[in-house]
Amino acid sequence: MAERTNRRDNLVETAGRLFLQHGYDGTSVRQIAEAVGVTEAALYYHFKDGKRGLLEAVIGSQIPNLIHIVDECETAETLQEFVVQLGERLGALNPARMEKLRWMLTEFPRMTAHEREMFHHKHLAFQQRIASSVGRFVPDPTEARTVAATITCLIFGYGFLFFSLDLQSVSDLKQADIIRLFAQSLAART
């Protein structure tokens, strides 16, 4: 019984890694089964819906959970400090998370409505969590939510451009400088 679950989890994990590396269409069921050490037939026993069902399971496990990173920035005493801390933690410390998000973006067009909903739900919770933290420095709730959205756009935009599209290798601009300028600006907004 325990073995069954482990093998299933192992398949999802391995498929996730391969999908991330080579994309859904670029990865064959054969590759996945081989990497796990089972036959294709065994894979089809665990996933009655085959490759497509496997993708669904992977999507569920691949949506990055970022909320705890916001928790770690609770010690910030100014909006500027909060943004800088969040930027540092989200931007540089975990390239793997950015890779997952990049993958979500590449597979998004082929996702079902339900799969998209899972992602949206998680991201909105993340943004709401930021808005709640920002609320300490921005009293107006609507403005706090807009500030939160602006922060996520900036940080993810940096991630996509400089990390996923590797602009960091050809630009001398440092992430810290961009975040600092942005944080200063937000704190000084009229």
Partner DNA sequence: GTCTATAGGGTGATAGAC
Partner DNA sequence: GTCTATCACCCTATAGAC
Tell me which stretch binds a copy of itself (CB under 8 A): 1-9, 45-53, 55-63, 118-126: 118-126
89 binds a copy of itself (CB under 8 A): no
Dist. CA 91–CA 158, nearest whole Å:
8
116 binds a copy of itself (CB under 8 A): yes
152 binds a copy of itself (CB under 8 A): yes
44 binds a copy of itself (CB under 8 A): no
68 exposure class (CB count in 10 Å sphere: 0-12, 13-18, 19+)? exposed
Q: Which of 67, 93, 96, 149 binds a copy of itself (CB under 8 A)?
A: 149
Q: Which amino acid makes up residue 165? A: L
Q: Do 79 and 187 form a contact (C-beta atoms < 8 A)?
A: yes
Comparison of 109 and 139: residue with beta carbon closer to a copy of itself = 109
Alpha carbon 128 to its chain centroid, in Å, reads 16
Comparison of 52 and 110: residue with beta carbon closer to DNA = 52
